């Protein structure tokens, strides 16, 4: 299909089915897991620095 036939920005389809993540049941839990893991990592970095200071 020619590129010119693709409209720049078609209207959103309101009936798109919601997509679920493969694990943890909801995207909210997925995001929370990533953020908690990040906080744990920062705490580990802090403890690591303190241990060898």
Residues that bind other proteins (CB under 8 A): 1-4, 6, 8-13, 16, 19-22, 27, 30-31, 34-35, 37-38, 41-42, 45-46, 48-49, 51-53
Residue 4 C-beta: closest distance to other proteins, Å: 6
Closer residue to other proteins in complex, CB, 25/46: 46
DSSP labels for 17-45?
A: PPPPPSSSSSHHHHHHHHHHHHHHHHHHH
Contacts of 23 (CB under 8 A, 6+ apart): 30
Please answer whether residues 30 and 24 qualify as being in contact, where contact means their C-beta atoms are separated by less than 8 angstroms: yes
Residue 50 C-beta: closest distance to other proteins, Å: 9
């Amino acid at each position: 299909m020619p590129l010119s036939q693709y409209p720049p920005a078609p209207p959103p389809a309101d009936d798109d089915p919601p997509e679920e993540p493969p694990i943890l049941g909801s995207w909210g839990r997925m995001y929370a897991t990533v953020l908690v893991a990040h906080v744990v990592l920062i705490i580990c970095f802090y403890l690591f620095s303190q241990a060898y200071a």
